[in-house]
Amino acid sequence: MTKTDIVILAAGKGTRMRSQLPKVLHKLAGKPMLTHVLDAANAMADAHKVVVTGHGAERVRATYPESAFTMVEQTEQLGTGHAVQSALGRLRDGAKVIILYGDVPLITPATISKMLNAVDEEHISLLTIELDDPSGYGRIIRDDHGEIEAIVEQKDANSDQLQVSEVNTGVMALTTELLRAWLPKIGNQNAQGEYYLTDLIAIARQAGYSIHGVQPISASEVEGINSRQQLAALERVYQLQLAEQLMASGTSLADPSRYDQRGTVIAGTDNFIDINCLFEGTVTIGSSVRIGPNCQITDSHIGDGVEIKANTVIEQSTIGDLAVLGPFARIRPGTQLGSNTKVGNFVETKKAIVGNGSKINHLSYVGDAELGENVNVGAGTITCNYDGVNKHKTEIGDNSFIGSNSTLIAPVSIGVDGFVAAGSTISSEVPAGHLSVGRAKQRNIPGWKRPTKKK
């Protein structure tokens, strides 16, 4: 059996979230909870996903491409057994089926595999966990031989059963055929008047099948989210896991509890990341990189030996080896900094290609620009790239020097070895090797008398 059908229950209202947004679309580490579950499901070969929606079904459907999963709508939430029943028609003959939950986001591919491997025509598997505080969960009842016999919901349990610390995570796996045979046998004669999926366990036992109990690698895998408080708590647990992975791969963190990653970070070795940094999307980092406190880096590549000083923001950009950035630099999308470049405090770049060894050290805006190698851009330089309607390009040749407080009105180009005097407004080409002075000439007026105050 190699076909895997993955049913993800996501019909619940999520009342305790107090939100217009369906619960499973609330984000953990910048990604909807349901996406976490789908990503884990996608790690399985030939996985067919069926998502059971109810509250906010249209919104869930609209969040994903049509091909992401098959959606079935459970119009009335009559219980977890009823929810799986509504997905039955979409399951493939001869498949192994695993039931997951849209609000239990951190389930891992390893545990899903373990569950599926324990399933065949005669065996079903159930994910259970021992909890210090099992209250609220369905208890696992085992017989004298330690075999799983039944699951009793908290609200239906007697005082002995309430003492049991092994609980049902809700995740189970079995064949399509067994699901089809047993689901119709589930009734709703219980404290909540719901069709409990968990009743399958007792039905399986009565039919002479044995239930293989599987345990997750960590408790976070089976943590379900019902409130914003629980979501925030799980976020911290998950962030710590990501921080530990990064440290294990050779990057030091000043404080793993003050590291945030909403996406993927791939890093070399001997990097150091100071406190309160946020990484989003896909970020690749070379080796021997130092990142100061309070930096935000999104969808970018950082080369080897780069130093990023405090409070620097980098988006969709490429930073060459040994570049030095910040503090307080803002590197906007489309920036490509060459090696050994410097972009200092209060400098904003956007769609700027900056050649090796060039420096923009203070208080400048460089947008829609191409700078050659070893260019020096003085403090307060502005590329005037926008005429109110269109964007235009500024080109600056190798070894040019742009004096402080210059405005370069694009489209404009400065040739190789060009020199722009401080305070110039440059609106036409500066030929290679020329000095260009584009400012009013200084006049000194002798004997000047200051105005005096009127009586």
Binding stretches for ligand UD1 (CB under 6 A): 9-12, 52, 74, 77-80, 82-83, 101-103, 137-138, 151, 153, 167-170, 196-198, 224
Taking the complex as a whole, the smallest distance from the CB of residue 161 to ligand UD1 amounts, in Å, to: 12
CA angle in degrees (0–180, nearest 5) for 141-146-149? 35
Token representation of residue 399: 């070894």
Whose Cβ is closer to ligand UD1: residue 11's or residue 402's? 11
Least CB distance to ligand UD1 at residue 76 (A): 8
- Minimum distance of ligand UD1 from residue 378's CB (angstroms): 60
Closer to ligand UD1 at the Cβ: 228 or 434? 228
260 CB contacts (<8 Å, ≥6 apart)? 239, 277, 278, 279
Residue 281: closest CA among 319, 317, 246? 317
Is the Cβ–Cβ distance between 338 and 354 less than 8 Å?
yes
In sequence order, what DSSP letters do the residues of 295-350 get, joined into one string? Answer: -EEES-EE-TT-EE-SS-EEES-EE-TT-EE-SS-EE-TT-EE-TT-EEEET-EEE
Q: How far is the CB of 154 from ligand UD1 (least distance, A)?
A: 8
Closest to ligand UD1 by CB, 141 or 347:
141
Is 151 or 246 the residue whose CB approaches ligand UD1 more closely? 151
State the Cα torsion 51-57-59-60 to the nearest 10°: -10
Report the C-alpha gap between 31 and 437 in whole angstroms: 53
* Shortest distance (Å) from residue 104 CB to ligand UD1: 7
Closest distance of CB 244 from ligand UD1, Å: 26
Query: What single-letter amino acid sits at 49?
Result: K
Of 301, 362, 392, 434, the active-site residue reads 362
Compute the least distance from the CB of residue 298 to ligand UD1, in Å: 31
Rounded to a whole number of angstroms, the minimum distance from the CB of residue 62 to ligand UD1 is 19
Which is closer to ligand UD1, CB of 40 or CB of 197?
Answer: 197
- Span between the terminal Cα atoms of the chain, in Å: 102
* Geometric angle at alpha carbon 126, from 125 and 131, rounded to 5°: 150
β-pair partners for 183: none
DSSP code of 100?
A: E
Q: Is 362 a catalytic residue?
A: yes
Concatenate the DSSP letters of all residues of 227-284 into one string.
Answer: SHHHHHHHHHHHHHHHHHHHHHTTEEES-GGGEEEEEEEEE-SSEEE-TTEEEEEEEE
**Do residues 134 and 151 lie in contact, with contact meaning Cβ atoms separated by under 8 Å?**
no
By C-beta, is 107 or 324 nearer to ligand UD1? 107
Exposed e or buried b for every residue in 225-248, given b needs 16+ CB within 10 A?
A: beeeeebeebbeebbebbbeebee
Q: What dihedral do alpha carbons 149, 152, 156, 160 form, nearest 10°?
A: 70
Residue (102 or 344) nearer to ligand UD1, CB:
102
Nearer to ligand UD1, 74 or 341 (CB): 74
Catalytically annotated residues: 362
